[in-house]
């Protein structure tokens, strides 16, 4: 470890003449870089905004300059590569030659990988398996930085097998990074540990489950994490792990609040929900078994209904949208907007409600922008710049489109018009306003119309999977409030700066 202690003093940091935009890393980022540089196997965990990318980048560059790493490969989802890694390289050391191994023909990918003049290779998890299924396909890579390590939580996936194979050679370095390594519970850590520290996990996934969870009392197909299991896992992987909480490294960021705003169903929503529930119960009764995909479709319909727009197949076989009266939800949204100084971010995982909200906001003369999968990456960057410049009043977004390295601290208010059922997307989206540079308290509102929304939010907060929820909830839905005349039971906080 002593040989790495001089990273701070001995590193050839860029000067303003080299790069006028260079910002010297914070102390905790240098500490994290030293930790990574000293290890061939490591986890880098940290909340959104703690600077994990900077830590890994400096550690990688130090190892390259010390002759310990010659051929690094950064693996991340395409949005993270474009919005995080390439931007970081451009802002820190723009003279580095990079080779992007996706969005180009297969032969070109291998040609770029073999180019000896390249300093850094970048690719996506899906391409990782193909690289290592080819003779000599590793391209002499001796360091892999795998960002968003939950991409490898399924140990049977090709990408996980490829990374596990690569890590078996102890002369190679593998660093796994994540803001939330266990979004759905302890099962997520089995494959990640097999890659970084296989000695702390059993060979069998079933044994790992016995260690970390117990069967559900009424449904043996489901498992419940053992009390304290998260701490137990972190204690086992501690020698391999550098981990930072946002509050520890940026203690001056104001507090965040997550109010729940319960809203009365409209008559149309109530009628259609009961109809959908009855149809779904009839299908389950007829088929006796239900697939995860079928259940997800049922949940999606109920969530779309609560969001004000339901997709359906018309008699002509085409997909149509039925817009549902959701005026009480709109009223709640406008009350929040009226109590907020500055722009507001509204999240919804469905396209039709976003388009409906866009039309409503435009009709009111508000400056509105929409970001979803149909918006190009260059257009998204333009929108984010305008947002931070105060040129946008309302940003409507699919939460998955704002998962990686987007800073939107001009806003201190998020409204969840409808909820995703992926904890990772939920947490990452909330992190867009809770980052360094945020000077106001943050308010993350949840507009809850239906019992399914209440349960999805409960599971998101508890980091529980949504799978199996609909069957359970339909059997017990009488236990959930139907909102008979019970408008919001949460006082909307006035939070003008």
Q: Do domains 2-249 and 256-479 have the same CATH topology?
A: yes
The average pLDDT across 411-426 equals 91
Mean pLDDT over each residue of the chain, to the nearest integer? 84
What pLDDT score does 87 carry? 83
Q: Is the pLDDT of residue 181 over 70?
A: yes
What pLDDT score does 216 carry? 74
Mean pLDDT is lowest, of 20-29, 77-86, 371-380, 487-496, for 487-496
**Where residue 478 falls among pLDDT bands split at 50, 70, 90?**
very low
**Where residue 25 falls among pLDDT bands split at 50, 70, 90?**
confident
Per residue in 254-283, is it b (16+ CB within 10 Å) or e — as a string? eebeeebbbbbbbeebbebbeebbeebeee
Q: Is the pLDDT of residue 81 over 90?
A: no
Class of domain 2-249: alpha beta
Q: Is the model more confident about 317 or about 252?
A: 252
The average pLDDT across 303-312 equals 88
Handedness of CA 24, 26, 27, 33 (dihedral sign): negative
d(CA 47, CA 150): 14
Q: Which CATH number is 256-479 given?
A: 3.40.50.300
Which pLDDT tens digit goes with each residue over 230-262? 999 999 999 999 999 888 888 888 888 999 999
Q: Is the model more confident about 228 or about 469?
A: 228
What pLDDT score does 455 carry? 86
Of the chain, the end-to-end C-alpha distance in Å amounts to 47
Confirm if 189 and 43 have CB atoms less than 8 A apart: no
d(CA 239, CA 257): 34
Phi-psi region of 410 (alpha: psi -120 to 50; beta: other; left: phi over 0): alpha
Tokens of 440: 């106001």
Specify which residues 448 forms β-bridges with: 262
Q: Pick from 80-89, 359-368, 488-497 the range whose average pLDDT is largest.
A: 359-368
DSSP 470-485: HHHHHHHGGGS---SS
Which pLDDT tens digit goes with each residue over 115-130? 889 999 999 998 887 7
Q: Is the pLDDT of residue 5 over 60?
A: no
* Residue extents of the structural domains in the chain: 2-249, 256-479
What pLDDT score does 481 carry? 39
Q: Is the pLDDT of residue 466 over 90?
A: no
d(CA 316, CA 21): 57
The average pLDDT across 403-410 equals 84
**Where residue 104 falls among pLDDT bands split at 50, 70, 90?**
confident
d(CA 350, CA 439): 31
Q: Is the pLDDT of residue 312 over 50?
A: yes
What pLDDT score does 122 carry? 94
Q: Which helix (H) or strand (E) holds 63?
A: helix 52-65
What pLDDT score does 411 carry? 95
């Amino acid at each position: 470890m002593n040989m790495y202690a001089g990273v701070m003093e001995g590193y050839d940091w860029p000067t303003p003449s080299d790069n006028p935009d260079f910002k010297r890393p914070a102390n905790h980022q240098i500490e994290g870089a030293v930790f990574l540089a000293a290890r061939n196997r490591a986890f880098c965990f940290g909340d959104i905004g703690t600077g994990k990318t900077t830590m890994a980048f400096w550690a990688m560059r130090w190892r390259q300059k010390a002759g310990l790493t010659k051929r690094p490969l950064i693996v991340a989802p395409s949005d993270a590569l474009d919005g995080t890694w390439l931007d970081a390289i451009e802002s820190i050391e723009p003279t580095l030659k990079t080779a992007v191994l996706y969005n180009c023909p297969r032969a070109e990918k291998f040609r770029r990988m073999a180019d000896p003049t390249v300093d850094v290779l970048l690719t996506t998890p899906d391409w990782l398996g193909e690289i290592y299924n080819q003779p000599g396909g590793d391209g002499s890579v001796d360091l892999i930085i795998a960002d968003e390590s939950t991409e490898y939580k399924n140990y049977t996936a090709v990408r996980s097998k490829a990374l596990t194979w690569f890590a078996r050679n102890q002369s190679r370095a593998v660093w796994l990074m994540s803001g939330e390594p266990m979004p759905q519970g302890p099962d997520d850590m089995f494959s990640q540990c097999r890659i970084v520290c296989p000695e702390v996990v059993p060979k069998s996934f079933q044994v790992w489950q016995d260690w970390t969870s117990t069967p559900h009392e009424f449904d043996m197909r489901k498992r419940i994490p053992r009390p304290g299991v998260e701490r137990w896992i972190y204690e086992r992987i501690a020698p391999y792990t550098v981990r930072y909480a946002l509050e520890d490294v940026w203690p001056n960021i104001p507090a965040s609040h997550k109010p729940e705003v319960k809203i009365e169903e409209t008559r149309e929503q109530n009628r259609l929900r009961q109809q959908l529930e009855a149809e779904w119960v009839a299908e389950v009764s007829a088929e006796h078994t239900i697939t995860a995909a079928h259940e997800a479709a049922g949940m999606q319909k109920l969530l779309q209904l609560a969001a004000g727009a339901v997709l359906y197949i018309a008699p002509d076989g085409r997909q149509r949208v039925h817009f549902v009266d959701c005026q009480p939800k709109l009223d709640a949204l406008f009350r929040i907007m009226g109590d907020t100084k500055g722009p507001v971010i509204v999240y919804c995982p469905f396209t039709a409600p976003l388009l409906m909200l866009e039309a409503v906001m435009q009709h009111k003369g508000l400056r509105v922008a929409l970001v979803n999968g149909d918006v190009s990456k260059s257009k998204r960057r333009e929108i984010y710049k305008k947002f931070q410049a105060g040129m946008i009043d309302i940003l409507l977004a699919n939460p998955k489109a704002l998962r990686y390295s987007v800073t939107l601290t001009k806003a201190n208010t998020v409204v969840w018009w409808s909820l995703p059922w992926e904890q990772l997307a939920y947490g990452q989206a909330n992190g867009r306003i809770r980052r360094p540079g945020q000077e106001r308290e943050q308010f993350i509102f949840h507009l809850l119309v239906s019992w399914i929304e209440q349960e999805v939010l409960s599971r998101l907060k508890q980091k529980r999977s949504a799978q199996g929820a609909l069957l359970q909830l339909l059997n017990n839905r009488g236990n959930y409030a139907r909102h008979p005349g019970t408008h919001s039971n949460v006082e909307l906080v006035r939070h003008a700066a």
